[in-house]
Structures are given as structure tokens and as C-alpha cells.
Amino acid sequence: MPFDLPPVTRNLLIANVAVFLLQQVMGQLLMVYFALWPLGSGLFGVWQIVTSAFMHGSITHILFNMLALYMFGGAVERVFGERRYVLYYFVSVVSAAVTQLIVAALSGAVYPTIGASGGVFGLLLAYGMYFPHNRVMLLFPPIPLPARVFVTIYAVLELFLGVTGSQEGVAHFAHLGGMIGGYLLLRFWRASPRRPVR
């Protein structure tokens, strides 16, 4: 894994850590205004679709997300270039948030959602598609897998956990929403001729 991260990935890491530190100082105040609240909660604001992706609920939450951003983001940014990478990341973030809003509306649940996982899962998908044979090490158990297999396992696991509801407090469908949004954008790009960036 390279330590010389390209600029967008580096700035996303810095921004997420900075907001997490701000959360520790300001307590629940940021949660009320900037987490993603369901549409009927009376607390929803359209900006939350993006701001919630920079907030995290615990040190473990942010560590796992930032580790994934570090592992996969730099390689994807080098393939896409800065502009397309920013667009891709935030399309994944927005599609994850919209998915979560739909799930919350259907289930009637009223709780805030936070985390960079939607964007991270979009990056995971892109990494698996552009570097399918690169080895990715599972944490538990520590088994190296080709990236495309790793991504497929993760997607199936997220779907299973989302449908069964066996891991409460995790927005599994939002993770899948991030992947789906990223996939649709990649399909759109592949179908459209790439214009030179000025």
C-alpha cells in the first residue's frame, strides 16, 4: 500500500478525521444537524445526504472506514483522475444515503445514519472491477483473496445481513446503495466516450 496518497484521497482522510475530532468536542450537537435523519423525522435536511458521510460513531467505525479508504482510494483515484474520482465518490455517497432514506421510510425506523461507508463501498467495487486479480487480505480470518472475489463476498454478506437484520445498527442496504450507485456511474462512463479534461 503506497504512503504517497493522491490528493483527493488524502484530503478525504483528513476531512473525516477532523470531523470525528470535532464530534468529540461538540458531542451530540453535530449529530442533530448533520447526521442523516429519515424524511418524516422532522430533523431531515438535504445537506445531510453529504454531511453524514463525514461523521462516525466510534473510533472503531472511523478506523475501519479510513483503512478501507486508504487501501482502495489511492489506486482508484490514480485510474480515474481527480475530477472523476471526486464525482464517483460522491455519487456513491449520495446513492447510499438515498437508499438509506428509502429503507427508513419503508421500515418506519427513526434513527440517524452516519459514516463514510457508502463512498467506501463504491470505491471497493471500483477497485474490484479495475484490479480484479490484486490480492486483498481478509482480517478475520487472514486469508488473501483476489479483489473481485473479496468484493463479491462482501456484497453477498451485506445483502444477507440486511435482509435478515442480524447485525442491528449497521446500514447494510446503504452500503449496497453505494456500490450500486458507483456501478451505474461506471456503466455510464463506459458507454460514453471520454472527453479530454481541460
pLDDT at residue 1, as a whole number: 44
| pLDDT (average), residues 11-16 | 97
Compute, in degrees rounded to 10, the torsion defined by CA atoms 179, 185, 191, 192: -160
pLDDT in tens, 124-156: 999 999 999 999 876 666 788 899 998 998 888
pLDDT of 161 reads: 83
Cell of 197: 479534461
* pLDDT tens profile 86-123: 999 999 999 999 999 999 999 888 889 999 999 999 99
Q: Is the pLDDT of residue 16 over 80?
A: yes
* Averaged pLDDT score across all residues of the chain: 90
- Identify the structural domains of the chain with CATH numbers, from first to last: 7-191 (1.20.1540.10)
Q: Is the pLDDT of residue 37 over 90?
A: yes
168: confidence class by pLDDT, cuts 50, 70, 90: low
